[in-house]
Every structure is written in structure tokens, then in C-alpha cells.
């Protein structure tokens, strides 16, 4: 069609800004399907927009064209042209992300992060992502002339709190750079800026994005805690899953489709592929959701295609004027393809439905807007010089693609499974399931392991393991393949597509789901006060059990069908349950119900049973599954059909008896093929029908158990035991992320504790299954007094799961202002013991007027270089920087290290402090730079070898570690007078270990230079080290002003503080200023070794945040600990937040040479090795 950019009188215009980015500069992972998404939507718009609508030349930005400024310019100079009768469409396909929010926005963003779209050049120096507040500002500008504004985003923003972003997921890592308010595009717009700065609303963004309140419609790929994934389409091209099924839904409907129906169709189709991606639809005016997509800019096409004979060179043959864009799917095989009935031009609607005497054709190739066809019956009656009308009579059903991983250890089970697949159809290959060679091509994975068959999707099991007890057999393999066939049938029903040639419009029949009441255990239904309330006004339907009269009651619904057309229709609603069962339960007629045409009084209405209760099966509830998703599929036809043909039990193929006479209905034959896959023959009659679907999630929260003083509680059949507490009274239960985020948005855990492989991961009490994300949070209601839980009177939970050595649980909760560490979970035999030492104030809860306390858990791993018996470890380290990340490779083999020492002349040795390990500090040897002849060189270029010393400090004294250091050095050839040059870089306590080694153990004959960073040479002000670690952890979790701590540093803090708790060490008494150690070291003789002291002086709070920090500390600690904090934070004596500078510099000056004290450095105790100031000081110290 023609496109133009010049507005014309009387023409309604569609302006489309289409942005797709696959190839991002490093280190952001590239994607594969974003440009394909944009190409597909552009093609669709250009070929479908017609009538009074005109598509203005779309503004298309892909890859390097899609810079931040180009996107901004396209909003302001292109989309802003849209007037009051026009549509402005913004379609984005690429990475979403998050970035640090300016302090001015913290009142809007409790997690201190803005959600963003990642432009091509976003992460390059001097540029930033397009923040949601900037997108909001741009959309406000577009809306000034009052066009209809539509935003479609195939990306994800908050994710599920992880840094382990899988390939093909549209989420970029968090941008950790500071960003000033002045860098936002609205910085000079005082009105808009002041609106944001004075807003008191914290938005619980379902999609992650904060968009304008002005009239607009937003379609987004997923909820804020989910991933937007990529998917390989039928054509083999990679696409965004959301974008692919978005266009599929449009292509499968003839003409207009409402936004609400569109969103429901997409959700149901995506759910069939990905269990944990739920597309979102938002509109500021709910009535807008009933409008047709793009306001009717896509006209209805005739319900037939035109068949003609092409004489073009190399293209001779019959073809129709409909292809993929018009809903003609590509053939699955020669037999599994689209079938057509051929009629003379001008045939009446009734004549077009009588197919018994019509010529028949099948599609051999589906192209974009046309399809090649082969005449298979009645070719002699067709004239190549004439055109005909072709009506679709059958659509192909694709087989389920399954991947079976080869494994020699499980060869017997694999052979049996493959044989069962080859013989599933009376000795022939399965008609429903097809094995594929590549996992990426598969719909499901059949895992064969430990004597069982596991059917998985996205690494999650979707059914119980097959074969109990474990053991491979012919029967077990047969059951596994039958289960896959049941899944295939379920998906085929879900994917039944409306023929685009249908005369029935999607808006002709409306399906309403009304909640009637709630059913108790006695079967009595109690009517709801809002009885007959329609639940179908949103795209995501959630039906929750209701706790009443001491029990959970099941929701009772009634399905109503409304015929808004002038024709009598037939319909039924099919329930596709999560256990892969298929039922037709809603109406008395299990075949089809009659919908009378609308009259002057209104639509023809048929109401279903009024006592249908929706529930989660007991076997699911027993596994801790609290969410269960059904899909209701509405099928509407102009003739009677039999919906019961589709019924099957959950994962058990139905025993189908002998059929009666074959149905004359094409729709019945299609339903029968879902089961039989019989060869298709044309019947006497063609049915005109459509289908649409919606997903319904049934939610039954776990029962809450009562805690009474002195009386504990058991959760999930004893999986968790809440130990008796002397005075606490509360109700306690387990819940899921999806249920809690409905109350608190995405405030699950602070971003600095997002999952990071090998270091941090989210902990679940039960594993994910299907669409259920597993129980992962403890929720407390009706707490009599949160102050009753203290360090001395903790609330203890015993969990029947095991932790590995070096693993710990950190319980975290958000109290409306802060993320609070609540205690610790440690290994106790084969259980986990979680001690909660504090409780926050309750926050909003949909289950309690008084709110509830929601506690999430992070599993932390204390990374070690080796086993505990190997410590202390002296290792050689190779440090390299790639994609802005530091990688450290250790060599612990003492013989190899000795050889490396022998060939080196200049050596630097790193020793860590009381918190962390050398892995968190040794990267500075690459990041600290020295300028030589105008060029910057990393420190490691000035050394021949890098060594590290990792030691245990909970049960080992400083003196013992110093003697071990000497022994390890001597073992690799670094004894007294070794003739080489050895420099030590020591952090915190590592400096004390080094000093004792040098000053008391003869290390002054081994070491030529000691550099100490933040070493408490006169002791620590903290009464116990775990108090210091916990205080710093609290600050780190809440990103206290002016502090930028690396995630690994905070993870080390958490792991170390939990390790202290496990050791029950009150501890490291040697760190007290009046300890015997400090009395002794103050009187040590002059070692005559050069010392350089680096002391950080970073004023923790800005003036305006002092009250906030005081509130945080009051929630974390007792007055005694807060006295220490007050001195460090608010007192006048300089410190690095852990140690006073006077202590750091407390080394006698009466030495030769005198210790060199560098000027105070602008960093704190945890950032000596990560800030520019700390790295510069280190470089200056080693090479002045």
C-alpha cells in the first residue's frame, strides 16, 4: 500500500515508531529476534491498514540506528505529529533494564532503581538508558494533541531479581553508574520535574514501567518479576515470544480484535510455550480495552480467498491471495496442511458451506501474502483462465517436538523411550509427538535419569516423574510417551485457530465470568455480597480462595455467553487445566449450546451452571502448589458441533470407544482429528466458526498456622517447623513471589542481592512446577508485637532441607522504607536453622487489614579456594579484565607456585581482611593504573608474579596466621634473604597479620614493602565483628548515600556475618583496643621495613539523610550498638565507617624508615579496591 508523511484532511493517520535492537555493544548480550519483530510488525501494518486510515511512513530504528538521541528525536519530531483523530504507536523490541535512580527519585523508587529501555548506545560513556520517567515525559508530549497513544514493549525490566540472565532473555544487567537528575531529558521542564519531585505515590508497577496517567494503552511482554523470552517461530526465525503470538493472534482473526481479547489470546498462547511469562495489558480507561486494536484501522477482509492460476515465469500454478499474514499456516507436512473448498465467484453464503460437490485443494507453500495450492479433487472442473473463491475447511495440527538427551549411563531407558515413540500408533510412529535433535527446537524435554522419565519445560518438571518405584521398563516408557501425547492433544486444542475466512466476528460473542460466591467443605455455597460481579474486565484473571468461617472456600463462578450478532450461533467453553485435562463443564449441553440472535431488548444470553467451583487438585496442594492456571477456550460456530470430543483426563489418554456415524460437520471432524489424526475427507457441510481464549489463575494461599506463646507450628506437613517463642503471637504461612508482589510490587529483595551464579541465589521451600513458582516466602499476620523478637529471644524456624558447607540463608524483608536483614539461616545437621532476630513493621496485605510481614530468603555461598583443611592457602593469581569484568585464576599447586617464584624477581602479595577474600581485592592489580610517558599501565605490568594469601580468621589467631604465612612463603622459596623484591598489599586485619609476621616472625628479612589499607592498628570500635558486618550489610542493602559497594562485597559481608553467627563467636576479641594483641604490637621493635598507610575518610551520610540512617540503625540494633554507629557516623572523628582514622594511622613514627601516611582517601572500608581514589592511592603507594 501507499505510505506518506503529509497529513490529509479527512484522513485518519497512524504514526508508528518501531525500534528493534539485536546487536548491542559489549558487554550487553546480543539478541536474535528483535529486528525480526520490527520487520514483521512493519509488514503487517503496511499490508493491513486501509480504508479511511493511512499509515504514515513508519519511523524504523534498528541496531546502531536506535541510539538514545535518535529515539528521543523520533518521539518529538515524528510521533508528536499525531492529531486528535490519529494513532501514535510506539513498538519497542530489545533489552529492558534498570539503572540507579537519582536521590531525588528515591521517594518513588524504594529499590533506588529506575526501570529503563536500553538503547543501542545506552551503556557507552556519556550516555544512559531511556528511563521510564523519560518515556513518560515523551508520551506526555505525544499526547498533547490528544491522539490515541499505544505502547507495545517486548522487553523485561525488573526481572526476577537475578544477574544470571539466560541467553535469549530481553533483560540487560543493571547500570550501576550514578546518574544525575540534570541528565534527564525533562531537566529543564520545571512543571514536569516538579510533578515527579513532589509526587507521593510509590507505583507498584506490574510491568516494571512507570508510565503516564494520561489516556494510553500499554501492552507489555510480561510481569515485572518475569522474563521476556525469545522463541523460534514456525518459519525458523527467532522472534520475541510475545511479539510472535501478538501477530499470530492478529493474523488469525478476521478484522477487528479488542485489546482485551488480544491480550487474552496472547497470554493463552504464550502460556502454552512458556509457563512463567504472562503478558500485561494496562489502560488508564478500562472502557478503552473493549475497542478494536488500532481503532478499526485494520478492515475486515472477505471470508473467502480468491483462487487463480498464475502464468508468471517459474511460478506457474494455482494460488490464493492469502498467506501467513492472513492466517494461512505453513504446512507441517504434505498431509498436514491447510485444506480448501473451491466455489464459483458470486456463490452465496449458504452455497459456500455445501462442500460435498466442491473441488478440493491443499496449500503446498504459505508465503507472506499468498499461498501456492494443489488441486486434489475436481481439477477437471476448473478453468485456468477464471478465478474462484476458496474457503478454508481444515487447518494443520503440528506435532509436539520433544528432545531426548543422550546419556550412556541411561542408555537402557533412552532406547525404550525411543522405541515407544516409534511404536506409539499401533506399531507406527506417534502421530502427536516428534523427536528433534536440538534442545532449542523442542517444545518439551524428556529427561531419562535414575530409572525415571521426567517431562520438563524450561528446566521445570511439568508432570510427576514416571515410574514409581524407579526402574526402566517397556510399560514405563509407554506411559511416558502417552503422557507426551496427552500434552500434545492439550496444546493442539489450545492452538485451534479461527479460520480467517470466518464471517463470525470476534466481538459477536462475549464470554463473561461472574463470581457467584464461595463453596465450603460441606458443599454449601455462600453467595458473595458482590454476586454476579463480572471478572472479565481485565486481561489477567485471578480467582482466589476466600478465608471465611475458619476455612478456605473455593470460588464459585458462572459462565455467561452473550450473542451480539443478528444470527443464531452455537458455542461452548472448554476448560484446559494445568494438569493437561480437558473438560466441558460449564453448560448442561456438553456438545454445543444455542445462542439466539440479539433482539431489540439486547444480546441473546445463555447462562451456564451457577455452582461451578474452581479448585486446585489435592495432589497439587499437597506439594505446596498454590497457583493453578486454567485456560477457558470459547468456540463459536454457525452450526451445531460436539465439544465433548475434546475431553480427556489429566495426563491419561482417554479410552475412546467405537464411534457412531461420522459427523458431517467440519468442526467436529477437526475436533476428532485432535485425537485420531485420521486422514481428512471433505464432509457434506463446512462450518463457519471462530475460537478465542482466556487464561484464569486459581489461587489458594497456604493455610496459616497459629503461633501462641510457648507453642510452635508446623507448615507444609512439617517441612518447616516454627519453634515455640516465649511471648510472640501471630499467624504464619508460606507464600509465593507472585502473591506477594501483588501487595508490594517488585520489592522482593534489594538489587544488590540479586542472584549471581555461585554467590547468591533465591531460596525456595518447594521447587517450581509448571506455572507455579514455588513457595519462597514466610508471611506473618496478626503479630501482637514485633519488638518481642530480638537477638536474645529470636523466632526460630527449622527447615527440612540441607545446606552445603559454606552455604547460608539471609532472611530479608521490606518494611515500607528499608530492606532489613532479619537474622541468619545456618546448616544444622540435615536441616536448616533460621533464627530471626528482628521483625519489621507489617506492610500492605490483600489478606489482612492490619497488613503482614513478608520474609524472603537468599542463599549465600562463602566461596573458598579450597577445602577447610587446606587453609591457609598461598596461591599464584592470574588477573585479566574482559568485558569490564575482572577474572581471577588461582594456582594453588605449591610446586608450580615455587617454580613461578623462582623465575620472578618482583612479586606482589595480596592479603585480605576480616571480611571477604583475596578474590575481591586482587583485581586492583589490573584496575589500578600508573602513568608512564603519558600512557596508563596496570600495576601488574610492574610485577613478575602476583601471589595471594587466604586464611581462616574465626578460630585462628592473628599470630597463628602470621606464622602460617611465613611457612607458606618459605615453602615456595621466599625465605629470609631470598634476593627478590616482595611487596605486600594488606586490607584491614590482613595488615595486622602482616605486621606480626614482619615484626615478630622474621618477616622483615623477607618483605621489602608493606602497604596497609584500612588496618585497625589500634583496634576496632565495634564490640563484636558480626555487629560491624551486620551494620555494614544493612547500609549496603539500602545503598546509603554516597556509597557504591560492589555486589560481591555485599555478598561477602552477608556470608561473613552469617558465618560469624554459625560459629557463635562473639568474637575476634583480639580486635578490641585493649586486647593483649594490641598491647604487644604497640611495643614491637622497629622492623626497618618501609610501611605505607592508606586511610579512607568518607563521610557516610549527606546532611539531609542523617535522619534516615538513624531510623535504619534503630531498626537494626540495640542502643549499645547504635552508640558505636553514632560515634562513627555522626561524631566529629574521621573514619572509614569501620575504623577510626586515628587507629588506622597508629603505627609508631619512631622507625627507620618512618611509616609513610598518604593523604586521606575518599573511600570507605569496603571500597579501597574499587573506587578511583582508592586505586590511585594504591598505585601511588607501590610506585611513588
Lowest mean pLDDT among 122-131, 138-147, 326-335: 326-335
Least confident of 131-135, 293-297, 838-842, 876-880: 293-297
Q: Determine the pLDDT at residue 1090.
A: 97
pLDDT, average across residues 1138-1149: 91
pLDDT of 172-192, one tens digit each? 677 777 788 888 888 887 777
DSSP H or E stretch at residue 560: strand 551-563
pLDDT in tens, 1007-1058: 999 999 999 999 887 767 767 777 777 777 776 645 556 666 666 666 666 6
Q: In the chain, count of helices (H) and strands (E)?
A: 23, 58
Out of 3.40.50.1460, 2.30.30.110, 3.40.50.410, 3.40.250.10, select the CATH number for domain 12-296.
Answer: 3.40.50.1460
Q: What does the pLDDT read at residue 677?
A: 42
For residues 637 and 210, the model is more confident at 637
Cβ atoms 730, 588 nearer than 8 A? no
Residue 718 in this model has a pLDDT that exceeds 70: yes
Share of the chain above pLDDT 70, in %: 78
**190-217 pLDDT tens trace:** 777 677 766 655 444 444 455 545 567 8
pLDDT band at 1169 (very low <50, low <70, confident <90, very high): very high
pLDDT, tens digit (0-9, with 9 covering 90-100), for 394-431:
777 778 899 998 888 888 999 999 999 988 877 778 87
Per-residue model confidence (pLDDT) at position 1006: 97
What does the pLDDT read at residue 657? 35
Give me the pLDDT at residue 620, please. Answer: 72
Q: Per-residue pLDDT tens for 865-884?
A: 545 557 799 999 999 987 66
The residue among 348 and 824 whose pLDDT is bigger is 824
Q: What is the mean pLDDT of the chain?
A: 80
The DSSP result for 42-83, as a single string, is: HHHHHHH--TTEEEB--EEEEGGG--HHHHHHHHHHTGGG--
The domain made up of 868-1018+1073-1098+1136-1182 is a member of CATH 3.40.190.10: no
Q: Which of 208, 166, 133, 159 is nearest to 749 (CA)?
A: 159
pLDDT of residue 670 exceeding 60, the answer is no
Q: Report yes or no: 99 and 133 within 8 Å, Cβ to Cβ.
A: no
**How many of the other CB atoms lie within 10 Å of CB of 155?**
30
Give 649: exposed, middle or buried? Use CB within 10 Å, 0-12, 13-18, 19+: middle
Out of 299-313, 641-655, 765-779, 782-796, the most confident range is 782-796
Which residue matches cell numbers 494438569? 579
pLDDT for res 206: 46
Q: Which of 156-165, 570-579, 720-729, 1020-1029 has the lowest mean pLDDT?
A: 156-165
Q: Output the pLDDT for position 369.
A: 74
Q: Which of 241, 234, 224 is nearest to 331 (CA)?
A: 234
- Greater confidence (1037 vs 581) lies with 581
pLDDT-based confidence at residue 662 (cuts at 50, 70, 90): very low
Of the listed ranges 20-24, 309-313, 676-680, the least confidently predicted one is 676-680
* 1092-1113 tens-digit pLDDT: 999 998 654 443 456 666 777 7
Distance, in Å, from the CA atom of 117 to the CA atom of 61, rounded to the nearest integer, reads: 14
Q: Give the least confident one: 246-250, 397-401, 845-849, 991-995.
A: 845-849
pLDDT tens-digit series, residues 68-81: 999 999 999 999 99
For the stretch 907-926, pLDDT in tens is 999 999 987 789 889 999 99
Strands 238-240 and 59-62: unpaired
Which is higher by pLDDT, 288 or 600?
600
3 state SS of 1163:
coil
> Distance between the two ends of the chain, CA-based, in angstroms?
71
Are the beta carbons of 75 and 142 closer than 8 angstroms? Answer: yes
Distance CA 370, CA 318 (A): 11
Task: Kindly indicate whether the domain formed by 400-494 is annotated with CATH number 3.30.200.
Answer: no
Beta strand segments in 790-866, E: 795-799, 807-814, 819-821, 823-828, 831-836, 852-861
Q: Which runs of E-coded beta strand occur in 640-781?
A: 689-699, 705-707, 713-715, 720-722, 730-735, 760-762, 777-781
- What is the structure's pLDDT at 66? 95
Which of the four pLDDT bands, split at 50, 70 and 90, describes residue 1122?
low
Residue 916: per-residue pLDDT: 75
Per-residue pLDDT of 519-538, as tens digits, reads 888 777 777 665 555 555 55
Return the residue matching grid coordinates 530479608.
812
Check pLDDT > 70 for residue 1178. Answer: yes
Cis peptide before 332 (omega within 30 of 0): no
- Tell me the pLDDT band of 667, cut-offs 50, 70 and 90: low
Mean pLDDT of 781-795: 89
Average pLDDT over residues 846-873: 69
More confident residue, 1174 or 229: 1174
Amino acid at each position: 500500500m501507499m505510505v506518506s508523511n503529509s497529513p490529509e484532511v479527512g484522513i485518519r493517520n497512524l504514526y508508528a515508531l518501531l525500534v528493534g535492537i539485536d546487536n548491542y555493544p559489549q558487554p550487553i548480550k546480543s539478541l536474535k529476534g528483535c529486528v525480526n519483530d520490527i520487520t514483521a510488525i512493519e509488514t503487517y501494518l503496511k499490508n493491513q491498514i486501509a480504508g479511511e486510515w493511512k499509515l504514515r511512513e513508519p519511523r524504523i530504528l534498528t541496531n546502531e540506528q536506535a541510539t538514545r538521541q535518535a529515539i528521543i528525536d523520533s518521539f518529538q519530531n515524528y510521533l508528536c505529529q499525531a492529531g486528535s483523530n490519529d494513532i501514535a504507536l510506539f513498538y519497542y523490541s530489545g533489552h529492558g533494564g534498570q539503572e540507579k535512580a537519582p536521590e531525588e527519585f528515591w521517594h518513588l523508587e524504594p529499590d533506588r532503581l529506575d526501570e529503563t529501555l536500553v538503547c543501542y548506545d545506552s551503556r557507552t560513556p556519556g550516555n544512559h538508558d531511556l528511563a521510564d520517567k523519560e518515556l513518560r515525559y515523551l508520551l506526555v508530549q505525544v499526547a498533547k494533541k490528544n491522539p490515541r497513544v499505544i505502547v507495545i514493549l517486548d522487553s523485561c525490566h525488573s526481572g526476577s531479581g537475578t544477574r544470571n540472565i539466560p541467553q535469549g532473555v530481553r533483560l540487560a544487567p543493571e547500570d550501576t553508574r550514578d546518574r544525575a537528575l540534570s541528565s534527564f531529558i525533562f531537566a529543564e521542564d520545571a512543571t514536569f520535574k516538579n510533578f515527579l519531585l513532589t509526587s507521593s505515590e510509590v507505583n507498584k508497577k506490574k510491568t516494571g514501567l512507570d508510565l503516564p496517567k494520561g489516556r494510553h494503552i500499554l501492552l507489555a511482554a510480561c510481569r515485572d518479576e518475569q522474563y521476556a523470552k525469545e522463541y523460534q517461530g514456525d518459519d525458523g526465525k527467532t522472534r520475541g515470544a510475545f511479539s510472535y503470538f501478538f501477530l499470530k493472534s492478529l493474523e488469525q482473526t478476521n478484522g477487528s480484535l479488542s485489546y482485551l481479547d488480544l491480550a487474552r489470546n496472547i497470554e493463552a498462547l504464550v502460556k502454552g510455550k512458556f509457563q512463567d511469562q504472562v503478558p500485561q495489558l494496562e489502560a488508564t480507561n478500562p472502557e478503552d480495552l473493549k475497542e478494536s486494536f488500532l481503532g478499526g484501522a485494520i478492515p475486515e477482509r472477505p471470508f473467502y480467498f480468491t483462487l487463480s492460476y498464475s502464468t508468471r515465469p517459474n511460478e506457474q500454478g494455482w494460488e490464493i491471495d492469502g498467506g501467513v499474514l492472513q492466517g494461512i499456516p505453513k504446512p507441517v507436512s504434505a498431509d498436514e496442511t491447510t485444506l480448501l473448498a473451491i466455489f464459483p465467484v458470486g456463490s452465496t453464503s449458504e452455497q459456500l458451506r455445501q462442500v460435498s460437490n466442491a473441488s478440493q485443494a491443499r496449500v503446498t507453500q504459505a508465503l507472506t501474502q499468498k499461498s501456492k495450492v494443489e488441486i486434489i479433487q475436481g481439477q477437471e472442473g476448473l478453468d485456468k483462465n477464471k478465478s474462484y473463491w476458496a474457503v478454508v475447511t481444515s487447518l494443520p495440527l503440528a506435532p509436539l517436538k520433544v528432545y531426548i538427551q543422550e546419556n550412556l549411563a541411561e542408555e537402557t531407558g533412552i532406547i525404550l523411550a525411543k522405541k515407544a515413540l516409534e511404536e506409539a500408533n499401533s506399531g507406527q510412529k506417534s502421530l502427536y509427538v516428534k523427536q528433534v535433535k536440538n534442545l532449542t527446537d523442542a517444545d518439551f524435554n524428556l529427561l531419562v535419569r535414575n530409572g525415571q522419565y521426567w517431562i520438563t519445560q524450561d528446566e521445570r518438571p511439568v508432570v510427576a516423574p514416571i515410574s514409581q518405584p524407579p526402574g526402566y521398563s517397556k510399560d514405563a516408557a509407554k506411559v511416558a510417551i502417552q503422557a507426551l501425547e496427552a500434552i500434545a492433544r492439550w496444546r493442539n486444542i489450545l492452538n485451534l485457530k479461527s479460520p480467517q475466512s470466518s464471517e463470525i466476528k470476534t466481538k459477536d460473542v462475549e464470554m463473561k465470568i461472574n463470581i457467584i460466591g464461595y463453596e465450603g467443605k460441606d458443599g454449601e455455597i455462600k453467595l458473595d455480597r458482590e454476586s454476579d460481579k463480572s471478572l472479565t474486565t481485565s486481561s489477567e484473571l485471578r480467582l482466589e480462595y476466600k478465608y471465611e468461617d475458619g476455612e478456605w472456600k473455593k470460588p464459585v463462578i458462572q459462565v455467561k455467553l452473550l450473542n451480539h450478532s443478528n444470527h443464531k450461533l452455537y458455542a461452548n467453553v472448554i476448560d484446559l487445566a494445568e494438569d493437561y485435562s480437558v473438560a466441558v463443564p460449564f453448560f448442561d449441553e456438553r456438545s454445543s449450546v444455542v445462542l439466539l440472535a440479539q433482539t431489540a431488548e439486547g444480546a441473546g444470553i445463555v447462562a451456564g451452571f451457577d455452582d461451578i467451583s474452581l479448585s486446585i487438585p489435592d495432589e497439587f496442594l499437597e506439594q505446596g502448589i498454590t497457583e493453578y492456571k486454567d485456560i477457558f477456550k470459547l468456540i463459536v460456530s454457525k452450526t451445531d458441533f460436539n465439544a465433548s470430543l475434546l475431553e480427556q483426563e489429566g495426563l491419561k489418554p482417554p479410552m475412546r470407544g467405537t464411534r457412531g456415524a461420522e459427523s458431517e460437520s467440519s468442526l467436529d471432524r477437526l475436533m476428532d482429528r485432535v485425537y485420531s489424526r485420521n486422514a481428512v475427507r471433505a464432509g457434506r457441510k463446512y462450518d463457519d466458526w471462530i475460537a478465542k481464549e482466556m487464561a484464569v489463575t486459581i489461587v489458594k494461599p497456604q493455610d496459616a498456622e497459629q503461633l501462641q506463646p510457648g507453642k510452635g507450628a508446623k507448615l507444609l506437613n512439617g517441612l518447616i517447623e516454627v519453634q515455640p517463642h516465649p511471648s510472640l503471637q501471630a499467624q504464619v504461612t508460606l507464600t509465593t513471589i507472585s502473591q506477594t508482589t501483588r501487595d508490594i510490587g517488585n520489592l522482593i529483595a534489594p538489587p544488590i542481592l540479586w542472584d549471581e551464579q555461585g554467590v547468591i541465589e533465591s531460596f525456595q521451600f518447594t521447587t517450581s512446577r509448571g506455572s507455579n513458582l514455588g513457595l519462597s516466602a514466610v508471611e506473618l499476620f496478626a503479630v501482637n508485637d514485633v519488638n518481642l523478637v530480638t537477638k536474645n529471644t529470636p523466632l526460630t524456624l527449622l527447615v527440612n532441607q540441607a545446606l552445603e558447607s559454606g552455604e547460608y540463608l539471609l532472611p530479608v524483608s521490606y518494611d515500607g522504607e528499608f530492606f532489613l536483614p532479619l537474622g541468619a539461616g545456618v546448616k544444622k545437621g540435615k536441616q536448616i536453622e533460621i533464627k530471626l532476630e528482628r521483625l519489621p513493621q507489617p506492610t500492605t496485605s490483600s489478606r489482612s487489614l492490619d497488613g503482614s510481614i513478608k520474609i524472603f530468603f537468599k542463599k549465600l555461598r562463602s566461596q573458598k579456594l579450597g577445602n577447610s583443611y587446606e587453609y591457609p592457602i598461598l596461591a599464584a593469581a592470574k588477573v585479566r579484565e574482559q568485558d569490564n569484568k575482572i577474572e581471577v585464576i588461582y594456582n594453588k599447586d605449591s610446586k608450580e607456585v615455587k617454580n613461578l617464584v623462582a623465575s620472578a624477581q618482583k612479586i606482589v602479595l595480596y592479603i585480605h581482611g576480616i571480611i571477604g577474600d583475596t578474590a575481591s581485592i586482587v583485581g586492583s592489580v589490573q584496575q589500578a593504573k600508573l602513568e608512564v610517558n603519558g600512557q596508563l599501565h596496570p600495576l601488574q605490568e610492574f610485577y613478575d608474579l602476583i601471589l595471594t594469601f587466604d586464611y581462616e580468621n574465626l578460630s585462628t589467631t592473628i599470630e597463628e596466621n602470621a606464622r602460617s604465612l611465613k611457612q607458606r612463603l618459605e615453602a615456595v622459596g621466599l625465605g629470609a634473604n631470598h634476593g627478590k623484591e616482595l611487596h605486600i598489599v594488606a586490607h584491614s586485619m590482613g595488615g595486622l597479620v602482616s605486621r606480626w609476621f614482619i615484626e615478630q616472625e622474621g618477616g622483615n628479612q623477607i618483605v621489602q614493602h608493606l602497604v596497609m589499607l584500612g588496618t585497625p592498628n589500634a583496634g576496632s570500635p565495634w564490640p563484636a565483628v558480626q555487629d560491624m558486618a551486620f551494620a555494614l550489610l544493612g547500609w549496603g542493602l539500602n545503598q546509603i548515600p554516597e556509597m557504591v559497594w560492589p555486589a560481591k562485597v555485599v555478598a561477602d559481608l552477608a556470608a561473613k556475618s552469617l558465618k560469624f553467627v554459625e560459629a557463635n563467636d562473639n568474637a575476634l576479641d583480639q580486635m578490641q583496643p585493649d586486647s593483649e594483641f594490641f598491647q604487644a604490637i604497640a611495643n614491637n621493635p622497629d622492623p626497618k621495613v618501609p610501611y605505607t598507610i592508606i586511610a579512607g575518610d568518607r563521610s557516610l551520610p549527606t546532611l539531609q539523610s542523617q535522619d534516615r540512617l538513624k531510623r535504619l540503625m534503630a531498626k537494626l540494633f540495640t542502643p549499645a550498638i547504635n552508640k558505636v554507629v553514632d560515634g562513627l557516623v555522626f561524631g566529629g572523628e574521621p573514619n572509614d565507617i569501620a575504623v577510626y582514622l586515628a587507629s588506622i594511622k597508629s603505627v609508631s613514627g619512631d622507625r627507620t624508615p618512618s611509616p609513610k601516611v598518604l593523604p586521606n582517601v575518599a573511600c570507605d572500608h569496603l571500597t579501597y579496591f574499587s573506587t578511583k581514589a582508592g586505586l590511585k592511592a594504591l598505585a601511588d603507594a607501590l610506585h611513588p
